[in-house]
Amino acid sequence: MANPDKNANLAENKVLILYLLNQLPNGIVENGLYKIVTAINGANYFYFKQILTDLIETKLIGLLTNDDETVVKITSEGKNAFQLTKDILPGILKLKADSLFKEELSSVENESSVIAEFIPKNENDYTIKCKIVENNETIFEVKTIAGSRERAKRIVDNWNENASKIYPKILDILLS
């Protein structure tokens, strides 16, 4: 026999995710959603993934890929389900979600706004991709090649630490 407390907790967490996604018209990257949900209810990653998979399979949320990034977004079916089930969400959990949501979202957006990675092409060539993302849309991207892993890592580290200084300089050069 199923544990009624476990089922109620599962339902609450599904509604919590729908509640959060309902407030994000452009969706959010999965890792960002996980950070917000964990801050609110302390769910572990595997439990979070189980809930997310259930919501995707029932078509209450969808995954959209744009600019090499996958975004989790509530569907119209999800919005309808949320309206029907929003009373399941305990007031204390909703209050906690409301108070932590903006703070955690801001943290997630800042984290995901500067992205850099390097991918080996062979043992001497590395492709480096540096970008700035705002509202799940790439606003700046540069791709280059480095002749060694050390150079590739130095470029990626420099971008991650100094993108706010480098980006305006590149823009000025392009505009002059």
Would you say residue 165 has pLDDT above 90? no
**What pLDDT is recorded for position 139?**
84
The pLDDT of residue 57 is 95
DSSP state of 24: -
Is 70 exceeded by the pLDDT of residue 143?
Answer: yes
Average pLDDT in the 23-50 region?
85
Q: What is the pTM of this model?
A: 0.61
Q: Judge whether residue 55 has pLDDT over 70.
A: yes
How many angstroms separate the CA atoms of 169 and 48, rounded? 41
Which has the higher per-residue pLDDT, 107 or 39?
39
Domains and CATH numbers, the chain: 4-111 (1.10.10.10), 113-175 (no CATH)
Q: Which of 19-28, 77-86, 97-106, 117-126 has the lowest mean pLDDT?
A: 97-106
Q: Is 119 helix (H, G, I), strand (E, B) or coil?
A: strand
At 1, is the pLDDT very low, low, confident or very high (cuts 50, 70, 90)? very low
Averaged pLDDT of the chain: 84
pLDDT in tens, 78-101: 999 999 988 888 888 888 888 887
Percent of the chain with pLDDT over 90: 31
Tokens 């029907």 locate to 84
pLDDT at 27: 84
User: Residue 124: which residues within 8 A CB-CB, separation 6 or more?
Assistant: 147, 148
Q: Given this model, what pLDDT does residue 161 score?
A: 87
